[in-house]
Structure 1
């Protein structure tokens, strides 16, 4: 059975990985969308780059909310509460 420090370490490690993933996605978004806008500007009068910018932007916002622990449906710490609830059930 794992002790509470191991669980805290694993939780912190997962959160850092999620933040790292979010910042990687943000970096690529900031690099690719301007490149698409430049290509669009040079090749067409229709602003098609807006569609991937909006779609990827919505996904990026959702990823950012998850990375920073905000979940509007269940509150901020619902996962931790459920984990503790299941751990307490298994103990008895």
Structure 2
């Protein structure tokens, strides 16, 4: 029950999704590098207190939410498209329209 897309629409969506994934990979790389640096400072620098866990957890939550938005809920993702299709089918049954949009 999927609608066909033109080659231009496919290209646009593919570029958008690839850009979103690349953004997440860059975010994850910066997260690892910065948190390694922060961990080193907290272990070998200022008083040897394990304070580095706080930015690690806070930023980690942000990274996880970013990943969910890109890989699970983003435009064209499997979960999002599945939910849209189910909602479309429910509305068609409710309104008695079996045709295409």
Work out whether the TM-score is over 0.5: yes
Compute the displacement of 1:65 (Å): 1.9
Q: Secondary structure at the match of 1:60?
A: helix
Per the alignment, residue 88 of structure 1 pairs with none
Change (3 A) 1:79 1:6: farther
Per the alignment, residue 25 of structure 1 pairs with 27
Matched, 1:49 2:48: no
Instruction: Give 1:64-83 correspondences, 5 Å limit.
Output: 64-68=67-71, 70-71=72-73, 76-78=79-81, 81=84
Change (3 A) 1:28 1:58: same
**2-side partners of 1:81 and 1:10: how far apart?**
20
Give the number of the structure whose alpha-carbon radius of gyration is greater: 2
Change (3 A) 1:61 1:76: same
Change (3 A) 1:27 1:44: same
If the length of structure 1 is used for normalisation, what is the TM-score?
Answer: 0.69
User: Which 5+ residue runs of structure 1 have no aligned equivalent?
Assistant: 86-91
Compute the displacement of 1:44 (Å): 2.1
User: Which 5+ residue runs of structure 2 have no aligned equivalent?
Assistant: 89-100
Q: For this pair of structures, how many residues does the alignment match?
A: 78
